[in-house]
Amino acid sequence: MSNFLKNKNLNYEKAQSLINNTLVDCDDGELYLEDTKSESILLDDNKIKSSSFKRDTGYGLRGVTEDKVAYSHSNDISEKSLEMSCDNIKSTLKHSKGKYNHSINKTNQKFYDELDPIENKSLETKIELLKEINQYARSKDESVKQVTANFLGEHKNIEILRPGGELFTDSRPLVRINVSILVEKNGRKETAMYGVGGRQSYDNYLKNDDWKKICDEAFRMAYTNLESKPSPAGEMKVVLGPGWPAILIHEAVGHGLEGDFNRKKTSVFHDLVGKKVASDGVTIIDDGTIDKRRGSLNIDDEGTPTEKTVLIENGILKNFMQDRMNARLMKTNSTGNGRRESYKHVIMPRMRNTIMLNGNNTQEEMIKSVDKGIFAVSFGGGQVDITSGKFVFNCTEAYEIVNGKIGSPLKGATLIGDGPSSLKQVLMVGNDMKLDPGIGTCGKAGQGVPVGVGQPSMLIDNMTVGGTQL
């Protein structure tokens, strides 16, 4: 029985009969109900700049037949509104007839607790802590000129109703704490951001003065960049640090292995299953089951239990990431990657926590082996062109490597590479796998979803660095 329809102008039986009736001739589809609370408390320029709270409730009704998707959503959870959506779905799909597929495994797996992180910590204590963060960060050094700190909390409850009375629910906490610091010295300004987060209460990231480490890290990066010199331009060897730099994996191969692009044959990887796409020793998984991680889910947004999906094993392409529709059309099973930003958005295959597993090398060996190259430790965002395979990402902390030694910090530069060939150029895989701190959001077709990445240190033979120095 659905909790969502209490106190609404729509009862459960009516909702069931409407969706039974609408989806009977479809291959798949569901009524997705969502109730999300979110808050943002922002300290900026020595002041609490905003404290805002948002409550978003609504539904999305989806009908899928063959390769067609009809979607209708509204924040008005009422009989009248749902009837209108049903008509809309039927009119789009009127020329096709499907056979409804009921199979979704039920699961009891839980990777996070049912808790409301917003209510879990009072607004007063959050405000006090932001002030403390501001003071601490400003006291670190006289070069600190600006501090911005932000608490972002979310509690998303979803219900998925399918014809025949199937019901799936999930309750998802998510928090993120960001600190960004601007330093100025001798007329130069630099800024850096560091943050942590995941699917548990704020206090798990703040206890034992752990919040100081967030400030320390943001300060360290910004201060380091005050000494940065212009980056070189052109092809060179690149050593990536562990953790967050796995955004390279996310961009270089992750998106290209999402089922929709491969079903449509617009990804460079679409005909490469079973083929070698990366160096020996490169194994990449997409894992929705890691405890309390930002990209983890008990079930995906279609109700499929998440799993650990092997994408590339020892250099060989094994699997794509699938939602139900693309899996059906490609005659395989959903891998639990069907996700959506909210009830306002359609389902697409999306990444969860995308991770490169450990190899045998050490970071020290990698750096020693490079005569001229760069050592990239932290990144801003990245982007990929799925069809040509070209991807970019922006270094926010990088150093030159000269004759096997780490040298000066370098100004932020864009790195560009080619997805299918870059992982074949991996010369060494480290033994120091780390997950990112839990702040990643992936954008695709206008939808943002929380994701994670992870990798050990890695040496890549040849990437183009977008600096200014020739």
Partner 1 sequence: MLKEDDHLKKLAENFSTNLKKSGASESSVLISNSISESVNIRNKKLDGSTRSDSLNVVLTAYVGKKKSSISSSNLDESHINELIKKCVETAKITPEDELNSLPDSELYFKGAKNLDLYDETFIENSKKIDFIKEAEEQAFKKKEIVNTNGSGFSQNKSNFVLANSNGFIDGYKSSNFSAYCEVVAKSNGSMERDYEYSSKRFFKDLLEPKEIGKKASELAISKLKPRKIKSKKMKVVFDKRIAKNFLSSFASAINSSTIAKGTTFLKNRLNTQIFNNKINIIDKPDIIKGSGSRYFDIEGTSVNKLNLVENGVLKNYLIDTYNGKKINMKSNGRASGTTNLYFENGNEDYKNLINSDKEIVYINETFGRGANIITGDYSVGASGFMVENGEFVYPISEITIAGNLNDIFSKMILGNDLEFNYSTNSPSILIDDLTIGGI
Q: Which of residues 61-120 bind partner 1 (CB under 8 A)?
A: 67-76, 81, 85, 88, 91-92
Footprint of partner 1 on residues 376-395 (CB under 8 A)? 380-383, 385-388, 390-394
Residue 189 touches partner 1, criterion: CB under 8 A: yes
Q: Of 169, 191, 369, 447, which lies in the binding site for partner 1, with binding defined by CB under 8 A? A: 191
Is residue 418 part of the contact set for partner 1 (CB under 8 A)? Answer: yes
Q: Does 50 bind partner 1 (CB under 8 A)?
A: yes
Contact with partner 1 (CB under 8 A) among 6, 13, 55, 446: 55
Regarding 334 and contact with partner 1 (CB under 8 A), the answer is: no
**How many residues contact partner 1, by CB under 8 A?**
79
Strand partners, 258: 321
Considering only residues 159 to 188 of the shown chain, the ones binding partner 1 according to CB under 8 A are 182, 184, 188
Sign of the CA dihedral running 127, 130, 136, 137: negative
Among 48, 115, 273, 330, binds partner 1 (CB under 8 A): 48
Find the binding residues for partner 1 in span 255-314 (CB under 8 A): 264-266, 268
Phi then psi for residue 109, to 5 deg, are: -65, 140
Per residue, what are the HEC states of 374-388? EEEEEEEEEEECCCC
Interface characters, 122-161, with partner 1 (x: CB under 8 A): -xx--x---x-------------xx---------------
Residue 209 makes CB contacts below 8 A (sequence gap 6+) with none
C-alpha to C-alpha distance for 15 and 53, rounded to whole angstroms: 30
Beta bridge partners of 33: 59, 159
Strand partners, 36: 56, 156
- Closest to partner 1 by CB, 180 or 289: 180
CB-based contacts of 314, cutoff 8 Å, min separation 6? 280, 281, 282, 283
Considering only residues 15-44, where is the footprint of partner 1 by CB under 8 A?
44
Q: Among 45, 114, 119, 291, which residue interacts with partner 1 (rule: CB under 8 A)?
A: 45
Q: How far apart are the C-alpha atoms of 470 and 232, rounded to whole Å?
A: 6
**CB of residue 290 vs partner 1: minimum separation in angstroms?**
28
For 240, the enclosing helix (H) or strand (E) is strand 233-240
Q: How far is CA 59 from CA 80, 81, 349, in A?
A: 13, 10, 20
Find the binder of partner 1 among 416, 427, 447, 461 (CB under 8 A): 416
- Distance, CA of 303 to CA of 106 (rounded, Å): 8
Residue 58 makes contact with partner 1 by CB under 8 A: yes
**Does residue number 469 form part of the binding site for partner 1 (CB under 8 A)?**
yes
For residue 51, state whether it binds partner 1 (rule: CB under 8 A): yes
